[in-house]
Structure 1
Amino acid sequence: MRLLEDKVAIVTGASRGIGRAIALEFAKNGANVIVNSTKPSEPMDETIRLIEETGAFCTPVYGSVEKESTARELIDSAVRTHGKLDILINNAGVTRDKPLMLMREDEFDDVMSVNLKGTYQCSREAARQMMKQRSGRIIQVSSISALSGRPGQCNYAASKAAVVGFTKSLARELGKFNVLVNALYVGVIDTEMTRKMPAAAHKEITRNIPLGRIGTPEEVAGPCVFLGSDLSTFVNGTTINISGGAYT
């Protein structure tokens, strides 16, 4: 059974890792997907190729999500091509890890701009369309850093905690329009970034995960399919923890 048959979804930060896995899983479940990254690249070409191999329609939109023009083009592209927008996944994010006393102002601002302002821009533009339709799903990718904090991530943890507060407030605003807004607390996932960790750090992180391993991008994509499907019609304003029990 394809849980997202004929749905139209936007996935930001889709060139690799979690974003690519979400976009591909959506396509496998019947959705047509608008994918976003800051600029064309070989990884983005690969994402598009993999989606099109499923038979789904894939449209790329390039640009930084914190810019109103990019957010507007994402939603306009969905409506122009498919006549509607069913699901927005706010996945795009950056890190600029550094101890607070060494963190430059621009490193703080960059993280807040992409992770929080990007969520604001895309959610606001999507909400306009979804309110007209009186239906839709907005799913934010947050982090367990928002719950636990992590040394060197004052900027990142703050941005991801703010995304959760944003989610809960927006869910209250849009519920009467049948637009559901939820978030994910994502733990340590096997991506290019985590593969660059020193072996000792990787071992220490894994030791603190009750399942004894880090997660895969596909294990984040699955809950996104659930939240985007008709299996979750009474799930609103909540956050699903996807961390293998590392922080619950």
Structure 2
Amino acid sequence: MDDFSDRTAVVTGSAGGIGLAIASALVDAGATVVLADLQGAAAERAAAELSSRGPGRAIGVRCDVTSESDIAAVTTAATDNGGLDFWVNNAGFTRDKTMRNMSLDDFRAVIDVHLVGGWLGTRAAAEIMCEQRRGAIVNISSIAAKVGNPGQTNYAAAKAGLIGLTKAAAKELGRYDVRVNAVQPGLIGTAMIEALKPEVLQAKLQDIPLERVGTPSEVADTVLFLLSERAAYLTGAVIQISGGRHM
């Protein structure tokens, strides 16, 4: 396991799901982690639980990732507790509808949280990381960015935008030794997947060469690799975590 005992990280959308798995793995590696989530109370509870087991520690902060002032407050929470070495843009949600039934508000809401929120987080992290000439940013995209899904024109567009953001930011920030990478999870065992009807899940599993659903901790393992010095020569990369689905 990597030793992140002298590192501080921000993970957005980390009160549950993949974000919480990433925060948990960072705490297990000794890092100080700011759990930034729109559900502030849930973030505080999760942070308390993670801190109680150590060896790292966690701080829960309410954050609307589309708000510049909230992002600034999260950045301050990190720097006040050691600095800012890692930033993971994970916050997101779905609002699935066909284009015929999707309102402009539905489209913009998903774009704003995933893509605008990712850009605001990347910009805030870069300001500090470029000054200290080190740091790593990981954007959580989706396999939907690669293949699209019916009823997810907003989500697929937002997640594809994160890939473009990742590559452009990697080119801007590389000269400062700041790396920016992305991951594209496929079918991962979160509450959304667990709510699928058994026959729907089985149909999806038939498209996966490894014949199973992935786990949030498997996504977290890949994210920690990208944050670590083991990935020191990786930037602008996009790693698909899908069990071979849509390879």
TM-score range, shorter chain: over 0.9
Structure 1 residues 133, 43: CA separation in 2 closer, same or farther (over 3 Å shift)? closer
Structure 1 CA distance, aligned partners of 2:73 and 2:52?
21
> Is it true that 1:237 corresponds to 2:236 in the alignment?
yes
- Specify the alignment match of 2:30 in structure 1: 30
Unaligned runs of 5+ in 2: none
Aligned to 2:21, the other structure's residue is in SS state helix
Deviates more, 1:149-158 or 1:192-201: 192-201
Structure 2 CA distance, aligned partners of 1:15 and 1:227?
21
1:61 shift after superposition: 1.4
CA contact (8 A) 1:21 1:217 kept: yes
Structure 1 residues 10, 17: CA separation in 2 closer, same or farther (over 3 Å shift)? same
Aligned to 1:185, the other structure's residue is in SS state strand
- Specify the alignment match of 1:171 in structure 2: 170
Structure 2 CA distance, aligned partners of 1:155 and 1:125?
25
Aligned to 1:70, the other structure's residue is in SS state helix
- Report % sequence identity: 38
TM-score by length of 2: 0.97
CA contact (8 A) 1:3 1:230 kept: no
> Is it true that 1:108 corresponds to 2:115 in the alignment?
no
CA contact (8 A) 2:36 2:43 kept: no
1:226 shift after superposition: 0.5
Structure 1 residues 43, 192: CA separation in 2 closer, same or farther (over 3 Å shift)? farther
TM-score by length of 1: 0.96
Query: One-letter code of the match for 1:191?
Result: T
- Specify the alignment match of 2:57 in structure 1: 57
Report matched runs for 1:119-134 at 5 Å: 119-134=118-133
Aligned to 1:107, the other structure's residue is in SS state helix
> Is it true that 1:247 corresponds to 2:237 in the alignment?
no
> Is it true that 1:214 corresponds to 2:213 in the alignment?
yes
1:44 shift after superposition: 5.0
1:70 shift after superposition: 1.2
Deviates more, 1:140-149 or 1:31-40: 31-40
1:47 shift after superposition: 4.6
CA contact (8 A) 1:24 1:51 kept: no
Deviation string, structure 1 residues 139-173 (Cα, Å, up to 9, x no partner):
00000000011111110000000000010000000
- Specify the alignment match of 1:159 in structure 2: 158
- Specify the alignment match of 1:10 in structure 2: 10
1:59 shift after superposition: 1.4
CA contact (8 A) 1:13 1:37 kept: yes
1:29 shift after superposition: 1.0
Aligned length: 247
1:115 shift after superposition: 0.4
Aligned to 1:100, the other structure's residue is in SS state coil
- Off by >4 Å, runs of 4+ in structure 1: none
CA contact (8 A) 2:48 2:58 kept: yes
- Specify the alignment match of 2:77 in structure 1: 77
Structure 2 CA distance, aligned partners of 1:214 and 1:44?
29
Deviation string, structure 1 residues 85-125 (Cα, Å, up to 9, x no partner):
00000000111011111111111011000000000111111
1:58 shift after superposition: 1.3
Query: One-letter code of the match for 1:10?
Result: V
Structure 1 residues 71, 43: CA separation in 2 closer, same or farther (over 3 Å shift)? closer
